[in-house]
Amino acid sequence: MIIVRAPLRVSFFGGGTDLPAWFNRPERAAVLSTTINKYVYVQLRRLPAVFDFNYRIAWGMLEEVKTVREIKHPVVRALLEYYDQDGESGYEIIYNADLPSRTGLGSSSAFTVALLNAWFGNHERLCSKRFLAQQAIFLEQDLLKETVGSQDQVAAAYGGLNRIDFLPGGDFTVSTLHVPAERRNELQNSLMLFFTGFARSAPEIEKMKVARYEERVQNLRTMHAMVGEGERILSDPRREISEFGDLLHEAWMAKRSIDPSVSNSVIDEAYDTARAYGARGGKLLGAGGGGFLMMLVPPERQAAVKEALRSLTHVPFRMEREGASVVLYNPELASNYLAAEARVC
Q: Quick check: 205 pLDDT over 70?
A: no
Examine residue 232 and state whether it is found in any structural domain, yes or no. yes
Q: Residue 186 corresponds to which amino acid? A: E
Contact (Cβ atoms closer than 8 angstroms) between residue 302 and residue 85: no
Burial tier of 259 (Cβ tally within 10 Å: 0-12, 13-18, 19+): buried
Give strand ranges (E) for 76-201. Answer: 91-97, 125-126, 161-166, 172-176, 191-195
Q: Quick check: 256 pLDDT over 80?
A: no
Examine residue 59 and state whether it is found in any structural domain, yes or no. no
3-state secondary structure of 313: strand
- Backbone Cα Rg of the chain: 21
Average pLDDT over residues 4-33: 95
- CA distance linking residue 28 with residue 312, whole number of Å: 36
Examine residue 294 and state whether it is found in any structural domain, yes or no. yes
Per-residue b or e along 207-227, where b marks 16 or more CB atoms closer than 10 Å to that residue's CB = bbbbeebeebeebbeebbebb
CATH number at residue 124: 3.30.230.120
Q: Quick check: 336 pLDDT over 50?
A: no
Question: H/E element holding 225?
Answer: helix 217-235
- CA distance linking residue 69 with residue 63, whole number of Å: 12
3-state secondary structure of 190: coil
Examine residue 57 and state whether it is found in any structural domain, yes or no. no
pLDDT at residue 288, rounded to an integer? 62
- CA distance linking residue 92 with residue 139, whole number of Å: 20
Quote the mean pLDDT of the chain: 90
Examine residue 308 and state whether it is found in any structural domain, yes or no. yes
Q: Quick check: 16 pLDDT over 60?
A: yes
Average pLDDT over residues 9-31: 94
Burial tier of 83 (Cβ tally within 10 Å: 0-12, 13-18, 19+): middle
Which range of residues forms the domain containing residue 297? 2-47+98-314
Q: Is the dihedral of CA 215, 254, 233, 285 positive or negative?
A: negative
Residue of 341 and 30 predicted with greater confidence: 30
pLDDT at residue 115, rounded to an integer? 98
3-state helix, strand, coil in the chain (%, to 5): 40, 25, 35
pLDDT at residue 215, rounded to an integer? 72
Question: What confidence tier does 210 reach under pLDDT thresholds 50, 70, 90?
Answer: low
Question: What confidence tier does 342 reach under pLDDT thresholds 50, 70, 90?
Answer: low
125-135 per-position pLDDT tens digit: 889 999 999 99
269-287 per-position pLDDT tens digit: 999 999 999 999 999 997 6
Average pLDDT over residues 134-157: 97
Q: Quick check: 338 pLDDT over 50?
A: no
Q: Quick check: 119 pLDDT over 50?
A: yes
Examine residue 106 and state whether it is found in any structural domain, yes or no. yes
Question: What confidence tier does 315 reach under pLDDT thresholds 50, 70, 90?
Answer: very high
DSSP 230-255: HHHHHH-TTS-THHHHHHHHHHHHHH
228-252 per-position pLDDT tens digit: 999 999 999 999 999 999 999 999 9
Average pLDDT over residues 113-117: 98
Question: H/E element holding 107?
Answer: helix 107-122
Contact (Cβ atoms closer than 8 angstroms) between residue 156 and residue 323: yes
Examine residue 63 and state whether it is found in any structural domain, yes or no. no
Contact (Cβ atoms closer than 8 angstroms) between residue 47 and residue 63: no
Examine residue 42 and state whether it is found in any structural domain, yes or no. yes
pLDDT at residue 337, rounded to an integer? 44
Other CB atoms within 10 Å distance of the CB of residue 50: 8
- Sequence length of the chain is 345
| Pairing mode, strands 55-58 and 91-97 | parallel
Contact (Cβ atoms closer than 8 angstroms) between residue 23 and residue 167: yes
pTM, entire model: 0.91
Contact (Cβ atoms closer than 8 angstroms) between residue 315 and residue 195: yes
- Dihedral angle computed from the Cα positions of residues 318, 324, 327 and 331, in that order, rounded to the nearest 10 degrees: 170
Angstrom CA distances, 120 to 48, 58, 67, 109, 116, stand at: 19, 19, 20, 17, 6
Domain count within the chain: 1
- CA distance linking residue 68 with residue 73, whole number of Å: 10
